[in-house]
Amino acid sequence: MAPMIEVKNVTRRFGGFVAVNDCSLSVEKGSITGLIGPNGAGKSTLFNMVAGNLEPSSGAIFLDGREITGLKPHQLFGRGLLRTFQIAHEFSRLTVLENLMMVPAGQPGENLFDAWFRGRKVREFERGVRERAEEVVDFLQIGHVQNELAGNLSGGQKKLVELGRTMMVDAKVVLLDEIAAGVNRTLLNDLASNIERLNRERGYTFFVIEHDMDLIGRLCDPVVVMAAGSVMMKGSLAEIQADERVVEAYFGGSPTGHATSLPGATA
């Protein structure tokens, strides 16, 4: 079975600077795979290439066995690859429910002819979209804010809405970019629980960039470590925490020459 995401010998240059260097990795179907590494390791650049925001200088990227190198985000959306952002991208003047209803593509109400002459078709489609949005609200347990303007929500609530937007289409894989940033621990626990449920109950594959090692430890197996633009290793978080090369990459080694724990790791 082909991996859900496969990156083969991908390099990205910015002038003379090589941000990602001959990088290869895979994200297996049905996994929650983490991507960690020190600042400047190339994680965000790699994520941007997988998401279609940047084109590789060389190499190839595959989604579910089909090459997607150079495809744009809207094209990847149509193939089931979605991304959430470190800073939520909500429609601030629409309600939570309306934000969810905006997601499905090809809505007949967007077509002037349908809007004028096929009102029944438009109403039936909108009814189905609303029902699905209400199901998402129930799943995420955010009914208390469904009629609130999205711009009035907290950072964590906005990220729950972003996660909900991925549920409005048939997502194959979701790229999660620093979901812990700016989120309090209570809402972060809610986010993590919903990610686990989507993975377990609906078969979502997740690819996660995150600096919060507690969250990585809870959600991700395996974990990929990047350093200097390339993959250093892949394994469980326990294996990674015990690897002196990883500690060297994060800390430059410890004064005693022995491995120390990664940020957020427990003894």
Higher pLDDT, 157 or 89: 157
CA torsion through residues 141, 80, 71, 40, sign: positive
Percent of the chain with pLDDT over 70: 84
Residue 165 in domain: no
Residue 233 in domain: yes
Which of 75-89, 130-144, 206-220 is least confident?
75-89
Burial class (CB in 10 A: 0-12, 13-18, 19+), 22: middle
Judge if 178 and 75 occupy the same domain: yes
Residue 159 in domain: no
Strand partners, 7: 25, 61
pLDDT number for residue 126: 81
What's the mean pLDDT in 239-257?
73
What's the mean pLDDT in 140-151?
93
3 has pLDDT over 70: yes
Judge if 114 and 222 occupy the same domain: no
Judge if 66 and 115 occupy the same domain: no
118 has pLDDT over 90: no
216-237 tens-digit pLDDT: 999 999 999 999 999 999 999 9
Judge if 65 and 97 occupy the same domain: no
Higher pLDDT, 14 or 88: 14
| Count of structural domains, the chain | 2
What's the mean pLDDT in 31-45?
94
Q: How many CB atoms lie within 10 A of CB 124?
A: 12
Residue 262 in domain: yes
Residue 234 in domain: yes
Residue 158 in domain: no
Which residues are CB-neighbours of 43 under 8 A, at least 6 positions away?
35, 36, 37, 209, 226
Judge if 119 and 68 occupy the same domain: no
What's the mean pLDDT in 256-260?
40
Residue 128 in domain: yes
Residue where a domain stops, chosen among 152, 185, 202: 152
Give the CATH number of the domain where residue 80 resides.
3.40.50.300
Check if the beta carbon of residue 36 is closer than 8 Å to that of residue 226: yes
Judge if 100 and 72 occupy the same domain: no
Residue 267: pLDDT band with limits 50, 70, 90: very low
Judge if 73 and 186 occupy the same domain: yes
Judge if 185 and 254 occupy the same domain: yes
Higher pLDDT, 206 or 249: 206
Judge if 186 and 96 occupy the same domain: no
Residue 251: pLDDT band with limits 50, 70, 90: low
Q: How many CB atoms lie within 10 A of CB 143?
A: 12
Judge if 20 and 46 occupy the same domain: yes
Residue 88: pLDDT band with limits 50, 70, 90: low
Which residues are CB-neighbours of 51 under 8 A, at least 6 positions away?
73, 76, 81, 83, 175
Provide the domain limits for residue 119: 92-152
Judge if 57 and 44 occupy the same domain: yes
Which of 26-35, 43-52, 85-94, 104-113 is least confident?
104-113
Residue 164 in domain: no
164 has pLDDT over 70: yes
pLDDT number for residue 115: 52
12 has pLDDT over 50: yes
CA–CA–CA angle 188, 143, 31 (5° rounding): 45
Average pLDDT, the chain: 86
Judge if 83 and 108 occupy the same domain: no
